[in-house]
Structures are given as structure tokens and as C-alpha cells.
A and B are shown apart, each in its own frame.
Chain A
């Protein structure tokens, strides 16, 4: 069974600084997707960034980037120039790349606090 582990329940960062959230996963599959979702107090899960396992290049979305290490099964999220609006719960998630299977397996989340 696939598992996703986020070892940092809480993190804090000064506004404008950089922070890295950690995620490791376990799978025997070779083709899959990894995601970072953000959940602010409004409760809605918002997709931050997505990585296809077959792509060696790390995904980047504006201030958000990942460090994907497939052999180590590690998928960390780096947030640069942190902003107050980045404060939220961040969830790492895994999905097998297989038609007919939209199931996401989530980690336990990291609560990110931005210090003004």
C-alpha cells in the first residue's frame, strides 16, 4: 500500500524568507503523480504544484518549487519569498498514474505559520 509521510507537523517562517516542507512516500509503482495541496482556514484544498514521476525536471510554479528525488522517494516543497497569504495547512499527496484511479493518498499535513 502507498503511504505518504510528512514529518513536520508545524513550521514557521519569517515573511519574505524561504521555507522547505518535507514529504516522503512509499510505493512500488514506477509511474505516479505527486502533489502539494494547501488548505487555508476557508477549508478548500487548493492545488499548489504537481509533479509527474517520469519527469526528472523539478516542477516550479512562481514562488513554489519542489525537490523531487525519485530514488529516495522524497518530495519537498520550497516556498520562496513567503507571504502572509501562504499561511495554511500543506498536504503532500500521491496518486498512481492509472486510468480509473483518481484516489489521492495524503500525508498528515504541515501547518505553516508566517511571522510578520
Chain B
């Protein structure tokens, strides 16, 4: 079974630009969560989607948004990039209630 696939693996953008990251879950996984990992703030929850609906949202500004498609694939978008958005963005997926999360390898975003 293929694991959680995140694309791209690396991304370099300049301030003010926008970026879209993609996450393809393990087959059968319908819940997709996103996390931001930085040296200063650690791992922080961004949002979670299930059946194309956002169920939870972390404490991030509105520049961070996401969506989930009918095939459970998810994208997150960051608009008007700031230097502080440089981070590793991790996607995690699961089947249903209380099943373990499976993480992808992440997308390393660098904002210059």
C-alpha cells in the first residue's frame, strides 16, 4: 500500500507570493490533517478535513487555507507569503474515528 504522498518535497518562494501544497492520502483514508513544523514553534496544527469538510482549524491567520477533494486528496494554500512561513509542512491521514495518523514526508517551504 502506498503511503501518504506530499508534493512537492521542496519549494522556494519569495515574500508576497502564494503557494499550494498537495497531499494524497493512503487509499481508504478519508481524514487529512495539516501541520506546520518550525524550530521555534515546533509542530502546530493547521486544519483537518473529512469528506471535503473542514472539521477543525488551528490558530493560524486567514492566509492559510485548505480544501479536500472528493477523492480525499487535499491541498493547502498560503497566500501573501511571509518569511515566517518558512517551515516543514506535514500532512497526516487516517481512516476514521480514533485510528492512528500516518504522516507524509512533508514539504519544505523556504520563503526568501
Residues of A at under 8 Å CB distance from B?
33, 35, 37, 42-47, 50, 91, 97, 99-109
Contact = CB atoms under 8 A, between A and B. Distances in A.
B45 A97 contact: no
B25 interface: no
26 contacts: A37-B103, A42-B105, A43-B106, A44-B103, A44-B104, A44-B105, A44-B106, A45-B90, A45-B103, A47-B101, A47-B102, A50-B100, A100-B50, A100-B55, A101-B48, A102-B50, A102-B92, A102-B101, A103-B33, A103-B45, A103-B56, A103-B58, A104-B45, A104-B92, A104-B101, A106-B43
Contact of B42 (A37, A47, A102, A109): A109
A101 B92 contact: no
B31 interface: yes
Given A43-B106, A44-B105, A101-B55, A91 B50 contact: no
B100 A102 contact: no
Interface of B: 31, 33, 35, 42-43, 45, 48, 50, 55-56, 58, 88, 90, 92, 94, 97-98, 100-106, 108
A46 B103 CA distance: 7
Contacts of A109: 42
B46 to A, nearest CB: 10
Contacts of B105: 42-44
A106 B44 CA distance: 8
A70 to B, nearest CB: 18
Contact of A105 (B45, B90, B94, B98): B45
B58 to A, nearest CB: 7
A33 B98 CA distance: 8
A97 B87 CA distance: 29
A60 to B, nearest CB: 16
A43 B102 CA distance: 13
Contacts of B102: 47
Contacts of B33: 102-104
A45 B104 CA distance: 7
Nearest to B57: A103
